[in-house]
Structure formats: C-alpha cells, structure tokens
C-alpha cells in the first residue's frame, strides 16, 4: 500500500512564507509526477504546481514567481515552498503523485489527506 503524508500547513500573515512537505511511503517501485493541488470549498480543485521525474515543472499562473515545487527522489518527498503569500492562497492543499507500486503492475494516482493553509490580511 502507498500512502502520502503532508505537513507544513498553518496560519500565516499576508506576505509571509510556508513550506509544505509530502512524503510517499509503502511499496513503491517508482514515482513519476508529483504535484500540489488546492481546493477552496465551493470551487473546483486547482493544480498549483507539478514536477515530473525528469525535473521539469509547471505552475499555475497565479503562483508563478512566488511558489517553488521541488522533489527529493531519494526520500520520495515533494515540497512546495510558498512565499509572498496572499489571502487568495488560502485553501486546503493536497499532495498528488503518480506511483508505480511494487505489488501492482498499473500506475496509480495517490492523494494526501490535505493540509490547511490560511493567509490572513
């Protein structure tokens, strides 16, 4: 079984910074892409940033220049460095990963439990 565990969420003032972490554990053969999504109640889930196995990244326009996604392949961990935070960044942030399990032949999509980020004005 594969599990994604997130940490780092919390309350921060506008203009401040937070770093989110997500660790994948379990029977992992390989990890392809890793990403961060966010969700505000009543709105559609939004892709914030994605990093591929080769290191290429994609960001939502709203966070470009402020957020940085990175991964540590040896630790099966993805990070989201968030700076210059704005109240509109307030959301539940979810870790996502495409993982090849050691026990199953198919690539699976896994989600973390979510971590709340609240930015006060």
Q: How confident is the model at residue 50 (pLDDT cuts 50, 70, 90)?
A: very high
Q: Does residue 103 surpass a pLDDT of 90?
A: no
| Residue pLDDT, tens place only, 20-49 | 999 999 999 999 999 999 999 999 999 999
Mean pLDDT in residue range 95-100: 96
What is the side-by-side order of every strand in the sheet holding 67-72?
2-7, 18-26, 77-82, 67-72
Q: For position 94, what pLDDT does the model report?
A: 98
Q: Does residue 106 surpass a pLDDT of 90?
A: no
Mean of all residue pLDDT scores within the chain: 96
Q: Does residue 67 surpass a pLDDT of 90?
A: yes
Q: How confident is the model at residue 105 (pLDDT cuts 50, 70, 90)?
A: confident
Q: Which residue has the tokens 């690539």?
A: 107
């Amino acid at each position: 079984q594969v599990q994604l565990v997130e940490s780092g969420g919390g309350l921060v003032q506008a203009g401040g910074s937070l770093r989110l972490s997500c660790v994948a554990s379990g029977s992992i053969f390989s990890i392809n892409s890793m990403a961060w999504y966010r969700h505000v109640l009543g709105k559609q889930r939004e892709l914030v940033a994605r990093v591929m196995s080769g290191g290429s990244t994609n960001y939502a326009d709203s966070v470009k220049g402020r957020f940085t996604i990175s991964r540590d392949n040896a630790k099966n961990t993805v990070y989201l460095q968030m700076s210059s935070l704005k109240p509109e960044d307030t959301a539940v942030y979810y870790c996502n990963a495409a993982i090849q399990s050691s026990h199953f032949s198919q690539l699976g999509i896994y989600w973390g439990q979510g971590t709340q980020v609240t930015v006060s004005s």
